[in-house]
Structure 1
Amino acid sequence: MNKVQIEQSKDKLNRLAWLLDNTFRIPGTQIRFGLDGLIGLIPGIGDAAGAVISSHILTQAAQMGVPKSILLKMAFNIGLDAILGIIPVLGDVSDFMWKANQRNVQLLNDYLEQPEKTVTHSRLFVGLLGFVAFCGVAFISMLGFLLIRWLWLSVEGN
């Protein structure tokens, strides 16, 4: 993509993120929400549909040549939004606070303005996320091992 196309895409993605996350304001407050929050209210498919729509920003960023570490951070934002959306009430409230589309467009804009700094921060985030995931798997494995050991000793003791 050339610079003109990137600027046009950037403008479109900014408008899409605003539409999905900030279109409406609750009267008398500064709280804003968008179509993503409304779509998320549809039981069963709302949050999945919202994630599919949100992935358009991710796809456009990939076409702009954004590095994988930033794309992974964007995917995390979309995934967390979708997972939180599954939880009744909490998911609806999270749409007011966790604005994945705004976050992703901001990541894209930051990358286009300060690529080195944004890539470094994203790599640190992905590394930390990988470490947390590894620790989670190790912890669950250890619990499984201890449970099997306890069961084995219980059966052996009788």
Structure 2
Amino acid sequence: MDFELPLGNDPVSVRRRVEALERVLERAFTVPGIRRQVGLDAVVGLVPVAGDVVAAAMGLYLVWEARNLGMSKWQLARMTANVGFDTLVGAVPIAGDLFDFLFRSNSRNLRIIRKHLDKHYPQTRVIDG
């Protein structure tokens, strides 16, 4: 399958990019046995320090896209707090790794972005079949 992400700055392109990134970060594959979806955020977080920094940088990309959409400072602050909380707690050895499987900051941030897009750019909605 040939899949390309749009490069534009229009709301439709941004929506497709942030939804794809959230899918990769939070729901890339299913853990056999427990049928729990996990993504790169949890897997990369297993690498001490560097993994948490990389996961935070990828999460902050969603915040950057939200800023480019003109979202409010309050929304951006909430999104940044989600990433910061995930990073701080995720940095705790062992307990933080378990936390990464439960707290999905990128999914929370995607909900904030979708709510903004649905309100201000309703034409970007896609009906899932």
| TM-score strictly above 0.5 | yes
Displacement after TM superposition at 1:67 (Å): 0.4
Displacement after TM superposition at 1:78 (Å): 0.1
Displacement after TM superposition at 1:47 (Å): 0.5
1:3-152 correspondence runs (5 A): 5-114=10-119
Q: Is the 8 A contact 2:11 2:117 kept in 1?
A: no
State the AA in 1 paired with 2:57.
V
* Matched positions, count: 113
State the AA in 2 paired with 1:83.
L
Displacement after TM superposition at 1:68 (Å): 0.5
| Runs of 4 or more consecutive aligned structure 1 residues displaced over 4 Å after TM superposition | none
Displacement after TM superposition at 1:71 (Å): 0.3
Q: Which runs of 5+ in 2 are unaligned?
A: 1-8, 121-129
State the AA in 2 paired with 1:24.
F
Higher relative contact order, chain-length normalized (CA < 8 Å, sep 6+): 2
Identity of aligned residues (%): 29
Q: Is the 8 A contact 2:25 2:40 kept in 1?
A: yes
Displacement after TM superposition at 1:44 (Å): 2.1
State the AA in 2 paired with 1:36.
D
Q: Is the 8 A contact 2:67 2:76 kept in 1?
A: yes
Give the corresponding residue for 1:144.
Answer: none
State the AA in 1 paired with 2:37.
R
Q: Which runs of 5+ in 1 are unaligned?
A: 116-158
State the AA in 2 paired with 1:25.
T
